[in-house]
Amino acid sequence: MAAPLSPLPPQFKSLQHHLRTAQEHDKRDPVVAYYCRLYSMQTGMKIDSKSPECRKFLSKLMDQLETQKKQLGDCDSITQEIVGSAHVENYALKMFLYADNEDRSGRFHKNMIKSFYTASLLLDTLTVFGELTEENIQHRKYARWKATYIHNCLKNGVTPESGPVGFEGEEDYNEDDEGTSYASNEAPDRSSSTYQPGNMPTSNFSGIQIPPGAHAPANTPAELPPSAGVASSTVVHPSPQNIPSVDPSLYNAQPQGGTRLTPEDFARAQKYCKYAGSALQYEDVNTAVENLQKALKLLTAGRE
């Protein structure tokens, strides 16, 4: 477990929940803990790297990162960015999926609120690898809004509504008395909803897998029940599409002699499969087929 840091400078208040998430995952999932701290380090450097208290804090945080990196040794999720990105993303989406299924089943409790909010923090963390995809930006906005909305409903004795009813995007956040950051304003007015079907994630996350060495978030089931799925109100009947042609040689593709796949190749193939699953959520057959072809070619030929 990482050594405790010095008191958090006021300038870094926005990072307190990312650092708390890192501490919570030191034993549960050290890779997730490492990238939460790395995100905090990079973001803190942008906020203030000159004042004495901030420099002192960042110096100790850097020491924590170096110690943790040595402890993790040659872990692929640390030495290879694409593997680390897949690890954190899959973990975040697994947590999001748990909370989303609880929400759509009408089970509102502090655990699912924290799962929604923590998922949004971990999606923040993905920015250490580059810009977020539009899909993950939407996941993050929705998770934060949902945590805020349900928290305020329960606080005010109001029964929350399941699903994305009333979703209008991110809100402002303040720290509540439980030490978890949610918006301080009241639950949104659902009569003026700007939600449009197809713009928001649903609980039907095809292709989400927990990477080797990762664990389901605390207090969430390792496997969600088969009945957990998209609420009936979100079901969209597909419209006819022109299915793109598939290279016939891929139907009977087999690994070519001498082809050796690296962990990076496997991680990239996994990402292509995930992208294909996400495309099918939005009935985008062309994108789904394109990504599946890329994954199959990579796995059989060792190249794209």
Question: Which domain range does residue 58 map to?
Answer: 10-79
Q: Determine if the pTM surpasses 0.85.
A: no
User: Does the structure show a pLDDT above 90 at 143?
Assistant: yes
182: left (phi over 0), alpha (psi -120 to 50) or beta: beta
- What does the pLDDT read at residue 211? 36
- Is residue 34 domain-shared with residue 47, that is, in the same domain? yes
CATH label of the domain that carries residue 136: 1.25.40.270
- What does the pLDDT read at residue 284? 72
The mean pLDDT of 219-226, rounded to a whole number, is 34
The mean pLDDT of 196-207, rounded to a whole number, is 35
Tell me, yes or no, whether 228 lies in a domain: no
Inter-residue contact 36 to 19 (CB < 8 Å): yes
Q: How many domains does the chain have?
A: 3
- Is residue 72 domain-shared with residue 134, that is, in the same domain? no
Q: Place 3 in a pLDDT band, splitting at 50, 70 and 90.
A: low
Nearest to 164 by CA among 138, 125, 133: 138
CATH label of the domain that carries residue 256: 1.20.5
- What does the pLDDT read at residue 4? 62
- Is residue 52 domain-shared with residue 135, that is, in the same domain? no
- Is residue 74 domain-shared with residue 134, that is, in the same domain? no
Identify which of 43-52, 211-220, 287-296 has the greatest average pLDDT.
43-52
- What does the pLDDT read at residue 219? 40
Inter-residue contact 58 to 49 (CB < 8 Å): yes
Tell me, yes or no, whether 172 lies in a domain: yes
What are the CB-based long-range contacts (under 8 Å, 24+) for 182-190? Answer: 182/113, 182/117, 182/147, 182/148, 182/151, 182/152, 183/148, 183/151, 183/152, 185/152, 186/152, 186/156, 187/149, 187/152, 187/153, 187/156, 187/158, 187/160, 188/145, 188/149, 190/161, 190/165, 190/166
- What does the pLDDT read at residue 302? 74
- Is residue 30 domain-shared with residue 126, that is, in the same domain? no
Tell me, yes or no, whether 118 lies in a domain: yes
Tell me, yes or no, whether 73 lies in a domain: yes
- Is residue 68 domain-shared with residue 112, that is, in the same domain? no
- What does the pLDDT read at residue 289? 86
- What does the pLDDT read at residue 127? 97
- What does the pLDDT read at residue 258? 59
- Is residue 112 domain-shared with residue 140, that is, in the same domain? yes
The mean pLDDT of 66-73, rounded to a whole number, is 93
User: Does the structure show a pLDDT above 80 at 36?
Assistant: yes
- What does the pLDDT read at residue 278? 64
Tell me, yes or no, whether 277 lies in a domain: yes
User: Does the structure show a pLDDT above 80 at 291?
Assistant: no
Tell me, yes or no, whether 205 lies in a domain: no
pLDDT in tens, 185-195: 333 333 333 32
Tell me, yes or no, whether 270 lies in a domain: yes
